[in-house]
Amino acid sequence: MPAINQRDAEHYIATNGQFTASALSGSSFKKYTVDAGRLNAEEYAKLNEATHGEEWVYVVFSYGTPIAWRVDGADWYVVSQKFSVTTSKHQNLTRRAIADSLQGVN
**CA-based nearest residue to 79, from 41, 23, 29:** 41
Q: Is residue 106 part of a domain?
A: no
- Give the dihedral sign, CA 96/85/33/43: negative
**CA-based nearest residue to 31, from 10, 7, 11, 59:** 59
Q: Is residue 21 part of a domain?
A: yes
Q: Is residue 61 part of a domain?
A: yes
> Quick one: how many helices (H) and strands (E) in the chain?
3, 5
Highest mean pLDDT among 6-10, 49-53, 88-92: 88-92
Q: Please state the domain count of the chain.
A: 1
Q: Is residue 78 part of a domain?
A: yes
**Selected residue with higher pLDDT from 6 and 57:** 57
Q: So what's the pLDDT on residue 106?
A: 53
Q: So what's the pLDDT on residue 33?
A: 80
Q: 25 lies in which domain range?
A: 6-101
pTM: 0.89
Q: Is residue 30 part of a domain?
A: yes
pLDDT band for position 52 (cuts 50, 70, 90): confident
